[in-house]
Structure 1
């Protein structure tokens, strides 16, 4: 802004109408004042008499967001003044800065004493969480630093589809990658060249760098290293601090989680979902819409958790609530996002490299560009029409200028008409002066004669009515004689009055004829007068000019209305006088000014839309019905900073640690946790023991126990058994697994409560039942025995391979892989997965093999037509390692849609030293023998080799 006087005038006008908003920012000692199009930063002078203008910027979405939170309204009728130098400010002036600061403090600072003290056991709980988070952070960062570098022998650029301006390159490794998708890495000795692993295929790892990276900067041969990060732990600690300072959106969150005290409520029994839900899903849906604080939904495999979550999210959004859909994994978040109805406004926040292709369409960056183009296209027509009100193409301005000129002509002509009319009256009076006395006398006589006729006419009408009445009554009846006499008498009176009236009328006619004769002689004299003729001609000319000007004014008004009508409301009608024309002109000028303002605002807005990317990002998220992000992602993106949610829907809550869960929960007024604590927990038991020993080595045993419990069990697992039925729901009908398998899962893990609705499928060519097992205990111990692998996983655990099981699995898939639409091999150990992957590539080729073989952890939440699970362990001592975590087996065997094939040594499995695992295997074998198909491995080898 080059001319501050424009801003000053605008501030004065708004202040006089009590419409000037402002904000005080004491941390920077400035007053921010917001006009209609500009925001100005004003700094109080040292003497407190004025403000120095520090910065002026166009009004932005961010400014409007700040004003929605809090604002002062400045008012005053004395106006604002601008001076070039502080020394020019008049003495005894005041900026009223202290007054504004006090008013702002009263507005923005909460009153002391509102926050009650936190119970001691809540403080202890938060202290424990803080200790666990800090210790696990230190352990994890140390582990990441110990990860060996990944040497690469070749570098290549990619044609990867990009959603942001960052470099994407492929590195060909010398050995198999030990990092996962999404890991942060950097080029050795160049820590600024860092990025995120986008994809791993065989020994090729694709990295998307944080910034645009010149290909020449990256060495053609070198190594990649894992970048230690405490981002997750910072988010967790921030969530704990939010609770400690009692700043959470839900003030009673700790009471809910620690004390299990929840508010009473009544579910909305009339709420209807968009899609058909079974009774348990419908109950969860209706309960989730109305629960005031916390609801837990237990969703065993295949019971439609994602469908239920989608309906809950859509139902809450339909009620005007802002919904956060979150989970520990990106896949779970994307599953919900992709199933939302199209009329629900949803955005996906997070790292694009970890999203599915469909979920990327919901990214803020993607939607903003589409929104920007949509806005520009939608407003293009209006902008084109409004453009006619600005610049050289201001058609309305031209027509209104023409109207103003014609009205000025009409006003001049009207004044001329009035002047000529007065002048003509004087000229006529002079011209008829010789006949003035005679004309006045004749006029007087005519007027007197007319006046004499009036009473006579009235008397005549009166007597005529009386005579008529008498004649009517004389027609019949006893007094008819009297009325005949009366009628004759009244007829005589009427005749006398009629004679008088006729004489008066004759006299009036003669008087008028005399006046007309005198008037005619006077008019002839006036008509012959040259001066009168000249004045009359001038008056008639002015009248014609007046009519012509108003005719042109009417044409200009219609043209201006035609131009203005598409943009603003225009006044109608045609005025009767010049005062009306003046009002119409002023109304049209106001309409044109409004149209120009709209044109300017729209042009500015379109220009801002084209460049205000960050503002649009923020507004898109703010006005979204559903925001989807991982638990940690809700706290690590600036787009969600300070954003609160009406409800947080957390998927996979059974495997989310309490510190991770708190990150989204502190941002929501209520929460719906959906999960299954009968599947993998946040950390597995063997991991917990190792971590707990490190964390609690110098602490009392009870602290170590608490630490282990926080690590081992999710908040979902601890809460579900303790909550009343009003705050927990179990989904009971599974539609994924065949009934033979589902029956065992239900009895073993879900107390027999799981029901099945599954159509079955075509028979397998090898096995007679959907639940089958290849039992390797018939093989010699030397052939079926496991072998330790020299490599270890990320926690330092040894790996195992079992070549017999690997070859059986490869043989089975070599025959069946093309029969099933999709399949997967699940094994406990990474080393065994790598062995099977190598063998399958020789058998089936490279296509998709690596994506179909993995450990239990990588398949939680997925499903396939065929699942082959290999136990791997086979030894004479019943040593099964971390297979003792029974929930691993639950995850593995609940993935198939058509066929499950188990491969293992039942002798070792039955002899397991862990009683729980041994009992489960015994139950599984009994179930297999009853409804499944357990076959010796030699027999299967013969079938597969045939």
Structure 2
């Protein structure tokens, strides 16, 4: 059975890689402040450090990429990523005069490494493949000893408490968290319950944002904060978010503060000596230029060259510089040359000592990661990072599990000896797969919920969190009725959602449908399939302006097409008052987020037929998921911009028509 999974997944990954090569280009990440840290010419090993100028989930420890500077293009490997610092190793020296460079990542490389990780499941020992087989429904679920849940606070609702209990007694366990139901809060208590019983836990997800949210859920709990302070929690990989002291370097720095302080002192000393060397070399050039004047002085009155004493102070003490300035030029130059030779030797010794200390810290990083009771990392880092090699856990928790591609999920679950816990929502965004080949879609494009619990309402392995605390009740009823069989309840929601609904546009309405009624057209740029609608873009920006002028603290415009996002984005940039307070993105960029006011622009209109992103006419369509995510980001006001008659004519039974019909019943319909 295991070999069948490995073969099928490997074949699917190969198909996806081919599709990526055809459709996607490389990712480029700008870096700056480059410097060489170490070199060994005999072994052909050179180490460099750069500052990342933007975060990117594709950059992972152990990955390979091209480092492009003004004069070279070199294949390098990522040694470590810590905050905005990345350390790379290459096979030859690289000229870093400008300090800036670009890292170029070919995304299919990550899948090449995934294929090797899948082969390791069969070729290497120590994997818990029975856990993965049970997760995928090919082995029976297991009942485990339950937890004492007396530590859970009264603030958790009944469904949240049952979710924590399920994860303690059953594997695999699925926590179904619809939008706004406190999924992240519940996850924090699940993690804490496992740590309390001495379990070693891996928390992973497809994105850094989801991993960071999981870490944040733990820091909100006193016992979780204490575990971080003791160095028992480690966040691996690159992130721009607050790691709350759990970043690997932060943990190592706390545990080995004297070594880190020593390195910092050496770095400052090295920097100072490099500045002195640079100043000294300039001074020698000036002395060479002064030599003819000094020679002339042999036949006149002066035998001392005019050298700026301030330049000597850069290399010598004030007293020594004053005495040296009164000596002949040749003696001055000899003293400067001796000083530079000593500085050069001291700099090299400083670098060597720093390298030894850094090497020791890297070893300690491995020790800290291996001894952590809780490790948080993206799924890519789980199979790519050398720090994860050989690590095993009692429990593996996957956040946003519905978005995880199945081959990666299978591998990660093989690291857990006792438990596999899936946290997510099958009604929200599915895995992102480039290939349209049916076999690849089946092996990589479905969610684990579809595989193991296709009827989650009746499965003993699933607990649905049933009380939402985010959306205005009218919006919550719309989302709950369309996507959750009317099972969503409303918790105690602050009056803020009512105040947002009472504000512009359409004061008093939490749901607004703007019906363009045949007064817009939809098009595509030449050579592209993405769509835009100029009339809709204008209306969306005007609605956002009204919301900003009202009481909305945050406004989102969500569109299914990148081209429409570009059109709206240009209009927002032209209005500084809006550009800082209104975000416009595709739905994938808003997963897990929320805003006071959401404007959902459907874009589609004549003369084009409805696009596949909204029509849902194919078996593999994710239209329902995309629309659900778009609607459920709204806290107090949801504005849907659509041509109602157009969808009624072209897709009367589709999900978008169902949404518009339901919204018309409970909301306000306006025509621009």
TM-score with structure 1 length normalisation? 0.51
CA contact (8 A) 1:157 1:170 kept: no
Q: Does 1:373 align with 2:104?
A: no
Cross-structure match for 1:765: 504
Q: Does 1:746 align with 2:480?
A: yes
Which one of 186, 191, 198 corresponds to residue 73 of structure 2?
191
Tell me which of the two structures has the higher relative contact order, counting C-alpha pairs closer than 8 angstroms and 6 or more residues apart: 2
Which one of 429, 442, 449 corresponds to residue 680 of structure 1?
429
Cross-structure match for 1:842: 574
CA contact (8 A) 1:126 1:244 kept: no
Q: Does 1:903 align with 2:641?
A: yes
CA–CA distance in structure 2, aligned partners of residues 139 and 878 of structure 1: 26
Cross-structure match for 1:342: 225
Structure 1 residue 722, shift from structure 2 partner:
5.8
Q: Identify the structure with the greater helix proportion.
A: 1
Residue 335 and residue 228 in structure 1: after superposition, are their counterparts in 2 closer, same or farther (change >3 A)? closer
Residue 880 and residue 316 in structure 1: after superposition, are their counterparts in 2 closer, same or farther (change >3 A)? same
Structure 1 residue 348, shift from structure 2 partner:
4.0
Cross-structure match for 2:541: 810
Residue 714 and residue 169 in structure 1: after superposition, are their counterparts in 2 closer, same or farther (change >3 A)? closer
Please tell me whether Structure 1 or Structure 2 has the larger radius of gyration of its CA atoms: 1
CA–CA distance in structure 2, aligned partners of residues 190 and 617 of structure 1: 32
Residue 260 and residue 931 in structure 1: after superposition, are their counterparts in 2 closer, same or farther (change >3 A)? farther
Residue 733 and residue 333 in structure 1: after superposition, are their counterparts in 2 closer, same or farther (change >3 A)? same
Cross-structure match for 1:137: 17
Residue 847 and residue 234 in structure 1: after superposition, are their counterparts in 2 closer, same or farther (change >3 A)? same
Q: Which runs of 5+ in 1 are unaligned?
A: 1-118, 159-163, 172-178, 197-205, 378-607, 693-703, 793-797, 938-946
CA–CA distance in structure 1, aligned partners of residues 552 and 75 of structure 2: 43
CA contact (8 A) 1:868 1:902 kept: yes
CA contact (8 A) 2:514 2:671 kept: yes
CA–CA distance in structure 2, aligned partners of residues 370 and 312 of structure 1: 27
Cross-structure match for 1:931: 666
Q: Secondary structure at the match of 2:390?
A: coil
CA contact (8 A) 1:634 1:664 kept: yes
CA contact (8 A) 1:810 1:843 kept: no
CA–CA distance in structure 1, aligned partners of residues 249 and 390 of structure 2: 20
Cross-structure match for 2:172: 294
Structure 1 residue 787, shift from structure 2 partner:
1.8
Cross-structure match for 1:563: none
Q: Secondary structure at the match of 1:342?
A: helix
Structure 1 residue 243, shift from structure 2 partner:
5.2
Residue 652 and residue 256 in structure 1: after superposition, are their counterparts in 2 closer, same or farther (change >3 A)? closer
Cross-structure match for 1:128: 8
Residue 320 and residue 219 in structure 1: after superposition, are their counterparts in 2 closer, same or farther (change >3 A)? closer
Cross-structure match for 1:756: 490
CA–CA distance in structure 2, aligned partners of residues 252 and 238 of structure 1: 17
CA–CA distance in structure 2, aligned partners of residues 886 and 336 of structure 1: 26
Residue 893 and residue 252 in structure 1: after superposition, are their counterparts in 2 closer, same or farther (change >3 A)? closer
Residue 317 and residue 916 in structure 1: after superposition, are their counterparts in 2 closer, same or farther (change >3 A)? farther
Structure 1 residue 149, shift from structure 2 partner:
8.8
Which one of 590, 593, 598 corresponds to residue 862 of structure 1?
593
- Any residues of structure 2 matched to 1:512-531 within 5 Å, and which? none
CA contact (8 A) 2:545 2:578 kept: no
CA contact (8 A) 1:260 1:719 kept: no
CA contact (8 A) 2:614 2:656 kept: no
**Alignment RMSD (CA, Å):** 3.6
TM-score with structure 2 length normalisation? 0.71
Residue 169 and residue 862 in structure 1: after superposition, are their counterparts in 2 closer, same or farther (change >3 A)? closer
Residue 181 and residue 364 in structure 1: after superposition, are their counterparts in 2 closer, same or farther (change >3 A)? closer
CA–CA distance in structure 2, aligned partners of residues 734 and 622 of structure 1: 38
CA–CA distance in structure 2, aligned partners of residues 634 and 713 of structure 1: 21
**Alpha-carbon displacement from aligned partner over 1:379-433 (angstroms, at most 9, x marks no partner):** xxxxxxxxxxxxxxxxxxxxxxxxxxxxxxxxxxxxxxxxxxxxxxxxxxxxxxx
Structure 1 residue 251, shift from structure 2 partner:
3.0
CA–CA distance in structure 2, aligned partners of residues 756 and 252 of structure 1: 36
Q: Which runs of 5+ in 2 are unaligned?
A: 35-46, 60-64, 79-83, 219-223, 262-355, 616-622
CA–CA distance in structure 1, aligned partners of residues 614 and 173 of structure 2: 32
Q: Secondary structure at the match of 2:460?
A: helix
Q: Secondary structure at the match of 2:372?
A: coil
**Alpha-carbon displacement from aligned partner over 1:703-731 (angstroms, at most 9, x marks no partner):** x4x44322331122221236774321111
CA–CA distance in structure 2, aligned partners of residues 374 and 209 of structure 1: 22
